[in-house]
Structure 1
Amino acid sequence: MSKIITTTPILIKFTTFEFAKSLCNGEIYMNPLNYFRGIDDGNVKGDLYEGTDGIIANDDIDRTLPSLGLNLSRQFKEHIIGGISMLSEEQKYCKIFCMYELNVDFENNFVAPIDERIKDFGDTFLLITDFIEFRHRIVHALNTGSYNVRSFTGDRVNYYKPNCSTDNLGPFAKLDLYSWQNEFRLLAEPIDYSLEPLVLKIGDISDISIIGSTDRLINEIKFKQDRQLYIPKYEL
């Protein structure tokens, strides 16, 4: 068991053991947003609405579409379910790396249960123990390497309800049916449009990470009497 005193946010990558080791060695594999639109896996990794810039609810179609120079037949509108999604062509090129943000309150010794569905991402986890240092190493690699990146950022994903008019959603927004994933997303905006993945090499991060079993983490993560959070890990 490893212990964490306090750090925010606590980010976890659920994956295979092979990819967890690769990440531990400092290789961050960032797929374009468009990649996730094409995955059909029962709403785990795949999301047809990735990169949605806005949604026009059914009740707002007659008011909004004419202002955009669009008109739909009554027959066509009768078959629309859940509104109309406005996909951003620019956002599909953004490279993203998805992680799970642990819902934890050190002051009250509380850690929220991790949804069992997270096992579908892989039987192994890599937990970042020092996010500030992790981010520093990524920025350093981007500043010193020859990567096709204009900007880099990271933030938690906001979840929105379907069939509600929204605009300016951006790459940090997903439908609320994915809210169990508690996603925190790292995003790199490329200089040139390309649907190729971005592979960052930031150097070994074994000093700021823990690797272990997904199943054990779900069942055994807990606070102890010393007010420290204990994480089950592999002895590598």
Structure 2
Amino acid sequence: MENIENKVVVITGASSGLGETTARHLASKGAAVVLGARRLENLEKIAADIRAAGGKVEILQTDVTKAEEVKALVDKAVEAFGRLDVIINNAGLMAIAPMSATKVDEWNSMIDINIKGVLYGIAAALPVFEQQKSGHFINISSVAGIKVFSPGGTVYSGTKYAVRAISDGLRHEVGGSIRVTSIEPGAVESELQHGSSHEESAKGVVEFYKQAIPASSVARAIAFAIEQPAEVDINEIVLRPTVQEF
């Protein structure tokens, strides 16, 4: 539990999947977790479970496409626990479809959630980290941010490439006292696989995700990055199912 116990961690997209599993895992290691997501009922249940196990948790209904709501989540962490040590920009949408389907609304949603949501998290936490002269950004990208997910994943991959680029640039700008980690998972059990409205693509995604590994695999990778000594910055972690070729 060294370097995790008593750390204050904000997690977006915390009502299910990677966010929920990571929240439970870090809370079990003694972190104080502050959870944001749109589904308040889910957050309330997760928080009740964490408190019942003796953990420290706060929640706030949060839409990451609204900068003021992400800032409110960070403010809540500081108000409740006096500081902020880590923000995990996890909220995401994967709407797979060929470009020819011209699903512009879904393109916009992925840009708003996957890219702007991360930027809003950075904007909210960076002033706190700079004042503290410490902090840790953990941004959830994807294996699709290393290689274009094809067919149908062009825009999704574009957003995840952006997360990697933003993470790398941020590290160059604020590194020294503030750490930046990009996590790039392959197929992992989560609701992400259900984001496609294009029928043929959705079937392909479901088939692809039959090889998925548990969300706890990513939670452990995140914990590994957090628990390193302050002078060690884990810049990037790529993990995928052993059987996943892409």
Q: TM-score range by the shorter chain?
A: under 0.3
TM-score by length of 1: 0.25
When normalised by structure 2's length, the TM-score is: 0.24
| Higher relative contact order, chain-length normalized (CA < 8 Å, sep 6+) | 1
Higher-helix-fraction structure: 2
Q: Which has the larger radius of gyration?
A: 1
More strand by share: 1
